[in-house]
Amino acid sequence: MTNEDRDSQSLPRLSDPDDPRDADVRKLLRGALGAEPASVDVLAGVQKKLRERSGGKFYADEWSTAKQPPTLTFLVTSALMLVVVVIAYAVLAPLRGHAAPVQTEPVPVDVLPPLH
């Protein structure tokens, strides 16, 4: 046996699940990666305190702090924008006119005699 054969036999493979050293490392990692602490919604708390202290001056509209997106507002806004675009097209379409005809014959070129 060569030295390399002895070294490879004495060392466990990297993916060996029975290696006790790997089990210790896995146990440490599980403890370190345990459950994450519950996240706190800081933004909602700040908005609530501002609303209470200011008497509703800030965040009084409630839509900026709502849990659901204002879908109806989006739909109404997009419908109004569509109406504006259709009206603009109806007003501007008759003004576009027709293309003017273009002359395609070449212009005569004056050729000067070479200077000596």
Residue 64 falls within a domain, yes or no? yes
Give the side-chain half-sphere CA count within 13 A for 112: 3
Residue 10 falls within a domain, yes or no? no
Residue 8 falls within a domain, yes or no? no
Residue 48 falls within a domain, yes or no? yes
Q: What is the pLDDT of residue 83?
A: 98
Q: What is the pLDDT of residue 107?
A: 79
Q: How far is CA 3 from the centre of its chain?
A: 56
Which parts of the chain sit beneath pLDDT 50? Answer: none
Q: What is the pLDDT of residue 17?
A: 66
Domain count, the chain: 1
- Whole-prediction pTM value? 0.35
Residue 79 falls within a domain, yes or no? yes
Residue 50 falls within a domain, yes or no? yes
Domain enclosing residue 87, as ranges: 42-93
Residue 86 falls within a domain, yes or no? yes
